[in-house]
Amino acid sequence: MGHKTGKFSLLSATLRGVEAYPVTVEVSVSAGIPCMSIVGMPDTSIQESKERIRSAIKSCGFQMPANRIVANLAPGSIKKSGSGFDLSIAVCILAATGQIPLDNLNDMLIVGELSLDGTIRSVPGILAFGLCAQKNNKSLLSPPACDQCVEIKGTKQLNVLNLKDFVDQNFKCANFKSYQNNNVEFFDFSDISGHDIAKRALTIAACGNHGIFMIGSPGSGKTMLAKRMPSILPPLTEKEKIETAVIHSIAGSDVSPILQGLRPFRAPHHSATLAGLIGGGTPMRPGEVSLAHNGVLYLDELSEFASHVLQGIRQPMESGSVDITRADGSLKFPARFSLIASSNPCPCGYYGDREHTCQCSPSKILKYQQKIGGPVLDRIDMHLNIFRLGPSEVLHTGSGVSSKALRDVVMKGKEYRHWRENKENSKLCNNEVNNKLNTSNVSKGNMERLVESCNLQNTDMKLFEQIAKKNKMSGRGIMRVLSVARTIADINQSRCVSYSHLCEAITFRVKEKSDSAIVI
Amino acid sequence: MSTYYKFRGEKSILVPEDKLFPQSLLEIPKPPKCLYIYGNPNALEEGISIVGARCASPYGLSAVKHFGSIASKLGICIISGGAYGCDIEAHKTALYNHGKTVVFLGSGCNMPHPVKHIKIYQEIIDRGGAIVSEFPWDMPPLKSQFILRNRLIAALAKVTFVVEAGLPSGTFSTANYAIEYGKEVRTIPGSINFSGAMGCNKLIFDGATPIINDEIFLYLLNKTFGVKSSLLNKKPKVQYGKKLGFSGNPILEALMAEPMSAEALLNIAKQKCKKENPYSWLSKMLIEAENSGKICKYKDGRYGPVVS
């Protein structure tokens, strides 16, 4: 009974970075000493699948051929990982030995993990597999993954629960939840009464994609404010939703808030390693910066982060992606995020707090403040001091301005900026349409463009020069102030940056090392 | 933490028998047995001691600068302890005005403390001032020694000027010694809401005469040191009846009274901005106030007054 032989092949996929890479699974059952081998650079979890496959096939009443079985995962030079190959290999074995009908199998991309009793288990990254199926014009056959169900246009997504179902092959279509935009308002700025200047600063930061740094004592409200930043960013576009959901699906997180348009908020602990923050490991997984793609990255207690970890964030902040190179090739993870960082003013945390006395000596405070930030502070355009609210203000929660109102301001500002940049770009000869004005690129060209787009009147220009001189602002400092002023002008729908816009931008300027406590 | 450092300059040791040993240091209950000096031993004059908090606000530091300049320009020696904050600002002011200054260390002269001020100490030596200690050359900075050193500051000076002190404060020990030795103590008042000014305000409560304007300070210097300044009238006047005009900037006016955060100032802005956006109005007023030199941003993030 166990002398059946045959061959069969199917399409499956493996996760590489934020994509699913198609893999052809070929199985050959031939005469020889009974054994099963899997070739094609499988990792340990795939090697272990032999036991799961054997047990599942037997539990479901099928015959496990007592022959030489070879499974090949092609192409052979790419490392395969994940437990999702169980199902495709098992189906190939059954098909090769004629135990199940073959008709529809080649129209599908099949992924799933097998339990010992034949039940099929879900694997992370279903959305990525779905996109891969779309690219290869197949439908996706997988176990149900409720929290990662996204409808993909033009691709049928079918669910299978048990290996036995392959006898009839009546697969049900996956159920998709319909997601309405803006249904989710987890955190709203109306929860916070007071902190009006902080809210204004976050609005400006959201509109112009400026990095923002908050200094305040413990409990003053920094994290509370930061958490609400995603609520004033424009909702995710359809394209951004899929982009972001794929990354989260690969990391195994719930994608439903993303599908409802809410931008991700990531707050890694300061003990995070470099790999945890920018991605990596074997197999390569997205890091916190990628999970914050199209959302907000919040670095709380910036002074506690190891400096080599902060250096690692430089590349994504400049280019919007992370390139991780390993022996078998390099992968690109997307990582375009808004940055918020915060810190205490001194080691004990209470310098400047009216209720607690600071226990630190002046030299300790100086050392602490100089240590903050390093590479990340270069990318920060705005600086804010947060002070604790008095009890009466805390008790008036719920009476603050709503996130919706602030978001409207942000969207109007962004629209104006778009319109203005389009107008300016149509005047330029070269095609730099996609070049976002990134303050990290302090090149001559960018500075010129920035000054031009500000359209300062002569009197305002002179006043600004005076202030810059008096405050000993560096070139980079001036760039940052102009950049923020340009955003404030965009919010006010003004073609020219005026004196009042400049003043507001200057009040948010980042402290530079030359700052002394006394105005000379 | 301290490092071993050898200053460049004249090294000398003074004992009570020496001619150059300051008389005022011998008149205290427990005079120093020996003075170890780097620099000019003649520099130990009976001048004015300017002391204050290490965590000084810009208000305090600007006051040191302001009054220290006046004293320095009139040739009065500035005596202090070289500590962070008010002390070192006093020495720097003396250097800036090409005046005389003496530093009393709480450690031996070869283990100067704080380490960050070594460059300034060297410059003081180069310019004819002195770095002094009653402790042997290689003595490290021990906590108990700082209070002992404070008595020498109070003893050498004819008047002790406490610029800014909180409660409790190490600066108080200097003021207490001054009173004990029968020397004058002066101070400047601060906002009653500001914890950094509580020590000074308490001194006033306990009877120290406050310095409230330049003329009164000049009168003090004239009385104590006999120096005359062209700016001095016969009698110091607090100008009655002359109302200082409203500057047109409500934010400036509010901050002259006490330090406030931008959020607190926003409440004023919302009342006074009329039709203009309150945030724009507030930032314009703040920049204008900073430009006037009377306001600056303090290290804790609040805006506050500065003596100018």
When scoring A487, A500, A502 by the number of chain B Cβ atoms within 10 A, the one with the most, hence best to mutate, is A500
The pLDDT assigned to A7 comes to 92
* CB nearest to A504's CB, from B55, B114, B280: B280
Q: Are A82 and A17 in contact (CB under 8 A)?
A: no
Specify the higher pLDDT residue, A453 or B36. B36
With tokens 């996109």, the residue in question is A131
The pLDDT assigned to B49 comes to 96
> What residue ranges of chain A have pLDDT lower than 50?
1-2, 429-442, 516-520
For residue A316, is the peptide bond before it cis, meaning its omega torsion is within 30 degrees of 0? no
Among chain A residues, the shortest Cα distance to B59 is held by A518
Pairwise CB contact (< 8 Å): A518 & B298: no
Beta bridge partners of B51: B162
> Comparing C-alpha atoms, which of A353, A178, A380 is closest to residue A299?
A380
Q: Are A228 and A187 in contact (CB under 8 A)?
A: yes
> Looking at the predicted structure, is the pLDDT value of residue B236 above 60?
no
The pLDDT assigned to A398 comes to 60
Pairwise CB contact (< 8 Å): B306 & A506: no
Specify the higher pLDDT residue, A149 or B143. B143
Average pLDDT over residues B227-244: 62
> Comparing C-alpha atoms, which of B71, B9, B62, B107 is closest to residue B224?
B71
Q: Please, what is the Cα angle at A318 between A484 and A454, to 5 degrees?
A: 25
* Alpha carbons B252 and B261: distance in angstroms, whole number: 13
Q: Are A478 and A468 in contact (CB under 8 A)?
A: yes
* Alpha carbons A137 and A131: distance in angstroms, whole number: 10
* CB nearest to A517's CB, from B261, B291, B296: B296
Identify the helix (H) or strand (E) that includes residue B11: strand B11-14
Q: Are B163 and B62 in contact (CB under 8 A)?
A: no
Assess: ipTM above 0.85. Answer: no
B61 at interface of A, judged by CB pairs closer than 8 A: yes
The pLDDT assigned to B307 comes to 86
> Cα distance from B41 to chain A (closest Cα, Å)?
30
> Cα distance from B145 to chain A (closest Cα, Å)?
18
Pairing outcome for strands B48-51 and B159-162: parallel
Beta bridge partners of B13: B36
B93 at interface of A, judged by CB pairs closer than 8 A: no
The pLDDT assigned to A79 comes to 86
Q: What are phi and psi of B90, to 5 degrees?
A: -60, -45
> Looking at the predicted structure, is the pLDDT value of residue B303 above 50?
yes
The pLDDT assigned to B71 comes to 95
The pLDDT assigned to A441 comes to 44
> Comparing C-alpha atoms, which of A32, A28, A26 is closest to residue A67?
A32
